Structure 1
Amino acid sequence: MTKSVNWKPVLEKFEKRLSDLKARVLSFGGQLTLINSVLNSLPLYFFSLFRAPPSVLHKLECARRIELDNLGINFTKAFKKEIGNGKDTRFWLDSWLIDTPLCERFSRLFRLDPVPNTSVQDRLMRSGEICSGSWNWVREPRGRTDAELNELMRLLQDFSTNNSGDDRWRWSLGANETVAHAIFQCQNEVWNRVYDWFGLSRVTLNLSNAFLGRTSIQSTEEGARVWQAVEWTCDYLIWKNRNKKVFKNSSWNPPVALNEIQIKSFEWISKRCKTLEIDWHSWLTNPKKFIM
């Protein structure tokens, strides 16, 4: 099983499972589950018995990225590895030192490494808190390749790790971004439009209060549930469209956001609140009467 040709039946099985007609009618979550099942679970038996050649691992990774790209997901942009011992992170093929895999930024160097699937642990030398490279080139870098090596070495000098624990994936929300920041502060204009739509004064929103349905608005018990449904609709749509921005690079402007919130909140409330008589025109023009 050391030759790539011996792995051809395995690769063909992956392709058959992923190209199954039934897979194309699954939901987004269903397709994502299928991809992970095929590309993570199926090879478990073979990998437990045989060591796959780098070319086979590369083909499997390409298959994963193609299928994820078809779903509009670019995990190399959305996720980054946090390095512990470096054992489970691929030096060239995973995003860990910068926001993209090193094989894309340093393509000439990547072609000189005889082990393209090598780990961070194998390529990183640590002396105290200082990191440097442990190389095994097929030939010495020169010219533009040498310039790439110098740039890579500068990046490694600024890199630090505690050299303990397992590596783990981290969602690249941003260094200081939290869920509360993503939902409230980043979408401040959307919330302003929602409050203006209801004719209410804007209040400072708190994440726990929003999800628990607590509100400072004086209203009836039924009105409080209506406003809670509106807040939850905002939270849901803001988070959903933020994921679209991260994974699909799509935009969501405040006027469109308000329109979606109005439609979705009306659908949820009119279907679930059986004691409330609500019509679309009143919901658009005077929603405040439903919460007071």
Structure 2
Amino acid sequence: MKYLIPFIILLLFVSCAEQEKDVIVTVDGSKLTKARFEQYVPDLDYGQIGEDRIRAFLDDWVQQEILYLQAKKQGIREEDSVSFVLEQYTKNFLAMELVRREFGTTSVTEKEIRTYFDQHEEEFLYAVKLGQIVLPTRELAVRTSEEIKSGADFFKLARERSLTRYQDPENPRIITDYLPRGVIADFAIEEIIFEMKPGEISEAIPYVQGTYLIVKLIDKRKIKARAELTDEIKGQIYNYLLAAKYQEFLVTYVDSLKASYKITTDLTPLQK
């Protein structure tokens, strides 16, 4: 036993020395190890990117670490508004990671892509000309939709409210060119648009980056005699169907978990 203890101490010393060798840069007690660096820059051949780029990355890491440590020193992390954001970010990240793992390797088959295309093949023969109103919030979109239903002029509201007017006030882009299937937006939105009839106005539709879209179908024109399932369209259909599977899985998965948790709701505090 008296020989074993010095041997263990020697192993620990060697292990610590090896770990110290893997430290690339330090800021006070913070260390950037080779293993952590490889997490930042995965599958990277250091010899190919050159020492200058590596040093530039290390400079950025040092700068961020200094600012982070200074923020901690000033107690910013403990402030209610900051800790709330960090808590929400952590919850969202962990929830998304859980769903990603549970969703697993779910994919879309060639048969599913072909079936979708066959069901919507006629839509790919046409292009549509639209009037559009892009709005920043759901509340404004719903109110605008109700005003249009009550007789307000679609294009007058588009000129006054559509976010597209900010890019070029002289050309607010409230009327589009003829747009074929696959170039307008998400396929779910295109399904709505291509089922509309000329003169018809949509409800408020969730659009990009939290905005909402109201469209008026001005005209629909046939532009092809035959629809072709190109690689580009295949990719778009794949992404759309995979997203639909994800949403369906998410609803089912959360519903299956609800039985394991006690959920109570009381609106009284909000009414005080």
- Normalising by the smaller structure, the TM-score range is under 0.3
Structure number with higher strand proportion = 2
TM-score by length of 1: 0.19
Instruction: State TM-score, norm by structure 2.
Output: 0.20
Higher relative contact order (CA 8 A, sep 6+): 2
Larger Rg: 2
